[in-house]
Each structure stands twice: as C-alpha cells, then as structure tokens.
Structure 1
Amino acid sequence: MPKPEQEQKPETKPTGYRSGVAARLAGLPVETLRVWERRYGVSDVDRSPHGQRLYSADQVRRLGLLKRVVDQGHAIGTVARLDADELIALAGAAPSPTPSGAATQTLTLAVAGAALARRLSAIRTSPGLDIVASCAQLEGAAEAMAGVTADVLLIESSEMSADALPQIQAARRAMQVRTVVVLYRFCDSATVRRLREHGCLVARAPSDPAEVAVLCGTALTGAARPPPGPATAAAPRRLDDQALAALAASSSSINCECPRHLADILTMLASFERYSLQCQTRNAADAALHEDLARSAGHARVMMEQALERLAYAEGLPLPDGF
C-alpha cells in the first residue's frame, strides 16, 4: 500500500529591505553601499530566494550610524566591523530607542504634512508611531505645534528648497523634539546638503509608508545631542587691548611667557566675540548661531580674564585701576 505523501510546509521566505531601499533609508548612495560591502564587508545580510540582499531594520540603522561616523571623519576601513553600540559611542549619539532583543518602543511624532499624517495613522509599523501633533504643511508649523514634545519632527514637502530651512529651524525651536526627518519628492543636492549640515535626516519620500518608521528610528538612533550654549550674555570686558598689552610686557618671576600668551588669547577672544555679533547672516537660523558663538566667546573670555587676574596677583603684575 503506497505511503501517503507528507504534507510539505511552505518555505519561510526571508524578509527585509533590498539594497536600494536600505541605502536610501540610511542616507547613503547605493553605489557607496556596494563599495563598502565589496571592500570592507560592512553587512552580513540574508538573501531572497532570487539572491537579492535583504537588510533588517537593525542593519539599516547600523548603516546609518556608519554613514554618520564616516561623515565625522573616521575612515570606513577602521569602523566597518564595529557593532551598533560601538558606533553610537563613537558618533556621540543618543542611545538607540530599540535595543537589540528589547521590545519595540513607540516613537512619538510631530508631523508637518496632513497627507502623510493620514497615511501613517492608517497602518501599523515597526517601530510603532504615535502622532501627537500634526499640521497641514511646514509653513506655520512653528505656531501650530508650539510647545509640543515628540521624538521626531517629521516634515513632508513635494518641492523642498533652501527657503524652507528657516521655517524648519523655527519649528524645531518652538517644539521639544530630539531630531528632524525631512521627506521630499524633488530637491536639489545643495539644499539636501544644507539640511543635513543642520542635523536633519533627509530622504526622498518612500512609496511605502512603513519605511517612514525605519527612517525615524534611524534618525533617532543617530541623533546627536550637542551641549547647549550659554543662555545669557557674558559680563562686559574688563581688560581692553591697551591693558592687555601692558600686562604682556610686564616682567614675571616665573620663567615662561604665560602673561603674554594669556593676553594674546584674550585679545583674540574679544575680537572673535565682536566679529560674531557683526557677522552678516543669511537667515534667522544663522543669526541665532552667531549670537550663540558670541556668547560662548564672551564666557570663555571671562574665564581667561579671571585666569590672568590670578596670575597677576601671584606674580605681582600691575593691574588696571578698578580691576
């Protein structure tokens, strides 16, 4: 009697993102990804039944971190084999919101783009997305979502230009967000570069809304947290150039040139402080940056004035009246 045929179980096909999609989500040209893989073996990925390379969400995030540290000046050959935690430490980045082996967390979004907000609300993604605020478009987003707290400010614009940068910066300042993701359909390379210089993750709008979740997770994993600048202006200058020149020329019992060096440093800091305040800026974001530079230089000047004062007292150097 013939044996009954055993029921064959369907094969489990590997899932993931193809090379082109993975490169786009990581902010890399696909040609660069191919070179990195061929020369440095940056990825150990699964393949589809047709031999196509498939990348997991974690692998895409790691590629994004690789791009970040390479952009910071590290050679790809020295970082290609580092794991995600090592890349995060090297990049000075925020910890990943979805550590390996941990349950997927929900990312909170503030969305500028009504159509994108509707598409994301209608699907389930990994990581999960919770839209806490939205507005129709980027213009007016700073006012419409002022005070909102979210992980990601997500912006969608069909035609993105450099004119949008002040609006993006204004929206970022008006909200408490950790990072910004900008999606576009048409955008020139110079604008993409400027947006990235200002800390935005920039990518062509994906056709699959689920890819937006990976983009947001990648941006959040690699979001740098620069230290805040001084909130207040520095105290007025206590030593003018003439007083510094006199101190530099004074004799000292210590066998070094510290008085002259400190005087030179103070002269340069005071000059840079004035220059930053007078520097012509292209837009409101640049103006705020140069104000921060002037405040920082001023506070550094105050510290060095105090150092010079301590040196002068210790060595009996003459100080101006009222110092």
Structure 2
Amino acid sequence: MKKPVKETSAAVQEDSAGSAYRSGTAARLAGLSVETLRVWERRYELSDTQRSDRGQRLYTVEQVNRLRLLKNLVDQGHSIGLIAGLQIAQLEELARTHTSEQVHRAGPIRVALVGQRLKERLATTGRDNLSLDIRCTSVTLVDAMSVLPNAGAEVLVVEIAELDESAVPLIEQARQVADVQAVVVMYRFCPSAVIRQLRMNNCLVVRVPADIGELVVLCRTVLAGQRVALNVEQGAEPSPPRFDDDVLTSFTTASNTVGCECPRHLAEILLMISSFERYSAQCLSRNADDAQLHQELGRAAGQARNILEVAMARLAQAEGLQY
C-alpha cells in the first residue's frame, strides 16, 4: 500500500492514488488519541471503514476529515452523542455556524430559566463554567410572566418534569412575553402528542439531560436552528429501499454464525420501519390537515431505514446472505 502523504493543511489532502490510513495514523491526523477513536467507533459506529488483509481498520481521507470535524466540534462544546450521526456536510455547516457565532456573538448565551430543579442544578455546577448568562429564574411559568419582559434573554429554557398539554399555551405566552429567539423545553415524562405540538411550535423538546452541561449544547443548537431530536432536513430525501420485504423476510429465517440473532432482529426492525414509511405516505394523501406532519414522519422513517440498511448490508456480507 502506498505510504500516505504528510498533512500539509488543516484538512487532510488525498493523493492521486487514494490514501488509506490505519487507526493510529487516522487518529493522529484527526487530533484524537487512539483510545478515544476506539471508544467513538464502538459506541457510535462513526465510519464504515474497510479492512486490510490482516483485519486492520483502514480510513479514507474523507473519513479522517469527518473525524477531525467531530473532534473540533466536541472541543467547541458539542456533545459527541448529539453529532455522531451527522453527515460530513452537516458537520461542516455546524462548524461554520459556530465560527459565525464567535464572530458576531460577544460573551455567553443569555438565557431565562423556568423550573426549580434546573435552577438548583445550575447553582451547584457553576454558571461561569457553562457559558450561560442567566438573566432571570422562575419556579413556574406563571411566575415567569412578570420577570421575562425585561430579561433580555436569547433563549427561554423551561424544565417541567411531568409535561402535559396545559403547559403548551403558557410556554407560547412566555415566548412572546420574553421576546426570545428560541425555546428549549425539557421533560422527564410527556405524551407524544404534546411533544409533537411543541415541536410544531418551533420548540426544541428533549428529555432532561443527565449532564446539565449539555444545556449549553442545546442552547447553541436551537439558536443555530438545528433539530437535534428529529434531525430531519427539509431537503434530505431518503434513498429508495435497498431491501424489499421478501429479502428481509428471508433474513429473519436464515441461519447465522455471529452467535446471536442480530440479523433476524435487524431485519424485523427494517420491516417495521419500511411499513411505517409506507403508512405515513398513505396518511399524507388521506389527510390534508396533517400532510406536513406525515411528510416529516415519512422522511424520518426513510432516513432511519437508510442508516439501518447500511448495518444490514454489513451483517449480510458477514453471514454470506444473498440479496
């Protein structure tokens, strides 16, 4: 194999023959430790890498560039768990957004907090370390109405452990009173219909994070206009199905050598997702009132199918399954 050329700029440049890097070299070029790269690969399946004749991972230039972007974004405060699934174009856009914010933003993010537990957790963690400028705090949304108008906050953060439909109009009223750019709503338990309604109102709705430090990531994300929870881009249409139902059904009954039933389980999941994707398309044509919602649901199912089809193809190759 041709020895890779040395890195000459911030981005790795591919030579005419097409370089392939082993794990140690790929980690060094991306600015990662080998241990970190191994953990990321194991937890998030970052790269569909090829293998050498000796079974070693080989990384292309594009894969190394993606690792470098991930590393830089994590250094800037993004959670690897939130960005690991993004494509390289999305990572580049997120990096550009961060750079633009650095140029135009002076100081930490200005936030207004609603929720007793949230206030207490931030107090014990330390505000300065979280890059947040807390303009006001309130225990309830009703209490917040009197302090929000003059807070000068950019992001309204609301934590309601048991979130129900009664909070939806209050959250919208608080948004208008505070005149904020974005709203983050955090919950522990909540009906799916309420989550859907809040997201349709352009709120970022997530479960309360175990690490309160992720609140900074959530605020940055919602200011950048990202949809972490769903991550369905308007223009990102899923690819056509790679496996039809007959092939997937055959996978569920095929014998395997991997010591578990992952091929059958994954095939069953794909059958379910494909069916839901088709069902969403039928709902789209039946109900004009919910057309946009079902279009988003169908797109999300298609994107999930595309991701799992890559995993299914790898399993099929390992098992020698024909399709």
TM range (shorter): 0.3 to 0.5
Greater RCO, 1 or 2 (C-alpha within 8 Å, sep 6+): 1
Give the structure-1-normalised TM-score.
0.43
| TM-score for the superposition, normalised by structure 2 | 0.43
